[in-house]
């Protein structure tokens, strides 16, 4: 098994008995399974392939089952902006709920499998099951809060704090899924990380080596080992760029 899919395989083994059990849509997936067909429908995509494309007709929500996916937007002039990295259990496509098209492109960062909840199933679900609506609204709210946090990170913190926060976030997510919180593979490229954190690739690269020299990390290509997690946390508040607002 290759390094870059180590976490994935581990996850698939752990979750094989009950597909969609560990996703963020507890009740909804239950409802779909009781309902009938839907929940099992899904698929797999290879690294670099798209789940959906920005501007494409809304086909429903996707739930990542294994692997990892990035969503990104393209401005009219072609400038890409990475919106988010999605790990197993996370829901993609919530931004499509405000219209009939997707507002971002979802790209598999490694071999990934997913299940899909079609627009029709979604409609039925919302009609029949009010609890599902609450769950979805909760998910959307959580994403909004996450975006707000990221805005604060990018807007207020220096480069080193951003990368530290990024790594700590990954660490937490892996821990939440039962993996090592200190050793994992990055499924995304430096370019993607840089774009996500609003930095230049070279800056990200320099920070990685800088963190290594400081004894915080041990990095070899995409393999990351966190040596001093408290040292990373200490960076979080440090890199502040401007003072508090008034009024």
Partner DNA sequence: CGACAGTTTGATGGCTCTCAACTCAAGTGG
Partner DNA sequence: CCACTTGAGTTGAGAGCCATCAAACTGTCG
Backbone angles phi, psi at 243, to 5 degrees: -80, 180
The interface with a copy of itself within residues 118-137 (CB under 8 A) comprises 126-127, 130, 133-134, 136-137
- Of residues 76 and 213, the one with the C-beta less far from a copy of itself: 76
Taking the complex as a whole, the smallest distance from the CB of residue 177 to DNA amounts, in Å, to 22
234 forms part of the interface with a copy of itself (CB under 8 A): no
The interface with a copy of itself within residues 68-107 (CB under 8 A) comprises 72-73, 75-83, 94-99, 103-104, 107
Backbone angles phi, psi at 234, to 5 degrees: -65, -25
145 forms part of the interface with a copy of itself (CB under 8 A): yes
211 forms part of the interface with DNA (CB under 7 A): no
Backbone angles phi, psi at 168, to 5 degrees: -65, -35
Q: For a copy of itself, which stretch binds (CB under 8 A), given 113-121, 148-156, 178-186, 205-213?
A: 148-156
**Sheet containing 80-86: order of strands:** 50-52, 105-108, 69-74, 80-86
The interface with DNA within residues 176-205 (CB under 7 A) comprises 189-191, 198-205
d(CA 247, CA 234): 29
Q: For DNA, which stretch binds (CB under 7 A), given 6-14, 20-28, 173-181, 238-246?
A: 238-246
214 forms part of the interface with DNA (CB under 7 A): no
Per-residue burial over 116-150, b if 16 or more Cβ lie within 10 Å, else e, is bbebebbebbeeebeebeebbeebeeebeeeeeeb
The Cα-based distances of 24 to 27, 62, 64, 143 in angstroms read 9, 11, 10, 12
149 forms part of the interface with a copy of itself (CB under 8 A): yes
Q: Report yes or no: 142 and 107 within 8 Å, Cβ to Cβ.
A: no
Taking the complex as a whole, the smallest distance from the CB of residue 105 to DNA amounts, in Å, to 16
SS3 for 25? coil
Q: Report yes or no: 94 and 79 within 8 Å, Cβ to Cβ.
A: no
Residues contributing to the site for DNA (CB under 7 A): 158-160, 189-191, 198-206, 208-209, 219, 221-222, 239-243, 246-247
Residues contributing to the site for a copy of itself (CB under 8 A): 48, 72-73, 75-83, 94-99, 103-104, 107, 126-127, 130, 133-134, 136-145, 147-152, 154-156, 189, 191-192, 194-195, 198, 200, 237, 240, 242-247
């Amino acid at each position: 098994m290759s390094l870059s899919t180590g976490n994935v395989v581990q996850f698939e083994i752990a979750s094989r008995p009950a597909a969609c059990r560990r996703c963020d849509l507890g009740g909804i997936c239950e409802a779909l399974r009781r309902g009938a067909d839907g929940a099992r429908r899904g698929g797999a995509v290879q690294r670099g392939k798209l789940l959906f494309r920005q501007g494409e007709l809304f086909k429903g929500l996707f739930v990542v089952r294994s692997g990892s996916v990035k969503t990104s937007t393209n401005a009219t002039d072609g400038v890409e902006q990475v919106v988010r990295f999605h790990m197993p259990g996370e829901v993609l496509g919530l931004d499509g709920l405000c219209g009939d098209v997707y507002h971002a492109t979802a790209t598999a960062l490694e071999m990934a499998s997913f299940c899909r909840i079609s627009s029709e199933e979604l409609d039925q679900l919302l009609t029949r099951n009010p609890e599902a609506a609450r769950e979805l609204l909760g998910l959307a709210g959580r994403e909004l809060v996450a975006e707000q946090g990221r805005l604060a990170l990018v807007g207020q913190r220096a480069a080193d704090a951003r990368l530290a926060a990024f790594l700590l976030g990954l660490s937490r997510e892996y821990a939440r899924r039962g993996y090592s919180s200190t050793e994992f593979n990055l499924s995304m490229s430096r370019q993607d990380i840089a774009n996500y954190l609003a930095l230049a690739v070279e800056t990200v690269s320099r920070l990685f080596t800088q963190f290594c020299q400081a004894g915080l990390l041990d990095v070899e290509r995409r393999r990351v080992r966190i040596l001093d997690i408290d040292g990373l946390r200490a960076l979080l508040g440090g890199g502040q760029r401007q003072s508090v607002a008034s009024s």
